[in-house]
């Protein structure tokens, strides 16, 4: 079990706990990146950020069944464990935690963790139970890995807000760090689901980023702060592309409550749409 060089792949909770205890006993800090595998450039950035924040980087790869409310979505979720392991090793990850579903949810598993209210809005309204699955598994991983720092992407802005709230509410001893959304050259937010898009769908998918860029333009160049007007622009950019808009909201970034006017720095624009049967989300902070 070395601290540098090769990545160690761990499948059991017991071994992961032991590895983490050894790291801490050696006076070293742990930065942790939870993932569901299917790595893209955004995941690699999270790993690279984690490497700057802790002595040891732990990445978990676990397609969490409890956060999928549609079985079909779970079944078609892209998986390529071998490629993922190679990518993580190349990114300099020290420990790669890749438990089986029964390891995390053994028969008789009954507990759920729910950050009420925040979890029922937006994505939560479209995907009931999704965030309960996310917070349950993230808390379990935090208990297993006991990291000093938890590194997550801002792309899933609501998820980030909910995890932040859970950490505050439960006084978890971990520092949450956010990493800006990684984008493809054409501006599409990197997502494991992008591989499911046909070339035509991809064009429609780009409307999400176009809509967010339009908001930045309207706020910064035209001084429009009224969210009604901004949302109209977002909806028309997405609807006119042929993507099926699920929601577009401009909200306070802590409470996720809709706001009438943009408060610079404290506001999220969140969009979700379906393109060729693939659900995509994107967000920006203004
Ligand atoms: O963002 C994700 O990939 C997942 O929701 C997470 C945080 C790894 C929990 O399964």
Which stretches within the chain are classed as H helix? 13-25, 41-53, 71-76, 81-90, 101-104, 123-126, 130-145, 157-169, 199-220, 227-239
Q: How far is CA 171 from the centre of its chain?
A: 21
Report whether residue 136 contacts ligand 1, using a CB cutoff of 6 Å: no
| pLDDT tens profile 182-201 | 999 999 999 988 999 999 99
Question: What is the spatial distance between Cα 68 and Cα 65, in angstroms, rounded to a whole number?
Answer: 6
- Domain membership of residue 34 as a residue range: 8-179
Separation between Cα atoms, residue 196 and residue 113, nearest integer Å: 31
pLDDT tens for each residue of the chain, 286 residues long: 433 469 999 999 999 999 999 999 999 999 999 999 999 999 999 999 999 999 999 999 999 999 998 898 899 899 999 999 999 999 999 999 999 999 999 999 999 999 999 999 999 999 999 999 999 999 999 999 999 999 999 999 999 999 999 999 999 999 999 999 999 999 999 998 899 999 999 999 999 999 999 999 999 999 999 999 999 999 999 999 999 999 999 999 999 999 999 998 899 999 999 999 999 999 999 9
Name the domain boundary from 179, 203, 234: 179
CA distance 187 to 182: 9
Residue 248 lies in a domain: yes
Are 26 and 158 in the same domain?
yes
Our mutation pick for probing the ligand 1 site, out of 33, 37, 67, counting the most ligand atoms within 8 A of Cβ, is 67
**Separation of CA 156 and ligand 1 centre (Å):** 9
Q: Is residue 2 part of a domain?
A: no
For the chain, percent of residues with pLDDT exceeding 90: 93
Phi, psi angle pair for 56, to nearest 5°: -125, 135
pTM: 0.95
CB 231 within 8 A of CB 212: no
Catalytic annotation, residues = 43
**How many CB atoms lie under 10 A from the CB of residue 128?**
11
Q: Output the average pLDDT for the chain.
A: 96
Find the 78 Cα to ligand 1 centroid distance in Å: 14
Q: How many CB atoms lie within 10 A of CB 21?
A: 11
211 shares a domain with 270: yes
Asked if residue 121 and residue 28 are part of one domain, the reply reads yes
Nearest CA residue ID for atom 9, ligand 1: 134
Alpha-carbon distance of 86 to 92, in angstroms, equals 10
Residues 133 and 39 both lie in one domain: yes
Quote the number of domains for the chain.
2
Is 224:230 a contact under the CB 8 Å cutoff? yes
């Amino acid at each position: 079990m070395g601290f540098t060089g090769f990545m160690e792949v761990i499948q059991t909770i017991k071994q992961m706990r032991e590895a983490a205890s050894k790291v801490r006993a050696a006076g070293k800090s742990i930065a942790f990146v939870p993932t569901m595998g299917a790595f893209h450039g955004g995941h690699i950035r999270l790993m690279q950020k984690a490497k700057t924040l802790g002595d040891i980087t732990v990445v978990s790869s676990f397609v969490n069944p409890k956060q999928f409310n549609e079985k079909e979505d779970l079944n078609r979720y892209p998986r390529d464990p071998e490629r993922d392991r190679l990518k993580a090793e190349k990114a300099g990850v020290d420990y790669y935690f890749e438990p089986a579903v029964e390891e995390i949810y053994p028969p008789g598993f009954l507990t759920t963790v729910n950050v009420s209210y925040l979890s029922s809005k937006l994505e939560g309204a479209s995907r009931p139970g999704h965030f309960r699955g996310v917070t349950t598994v993230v808390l379990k991983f935090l208990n297993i890995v006991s990291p000093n720092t938890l590194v997550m992407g801002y792309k899933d802005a609501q998820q980030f807000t909910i995890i932040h709230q859970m950490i505050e509410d439960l006084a978890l001893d971990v520092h949450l760090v956010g990493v800006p959304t990684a984008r493809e050259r054409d501006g599409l937010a990197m997502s494991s689901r992008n591989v499911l898009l046909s070339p035509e769908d991809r064009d429609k998918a780009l409307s999400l980023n176009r809509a967010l860029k339009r908001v930045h333009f309207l706020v910064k160049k035209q001084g429009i702060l009224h969210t009604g007007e901004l949302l109209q622009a977002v909806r028309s950019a997405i609807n006119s592309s042929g993507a099926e808009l699920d929601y577009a909201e401009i909200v306070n970034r802590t409470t996720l409550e809709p706001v009438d006017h943009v408060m610079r720095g404290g506001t999220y624009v969140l969009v979700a749409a379906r393109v060729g049967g693939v659900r995509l989300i994107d967000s920006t902070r203004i």
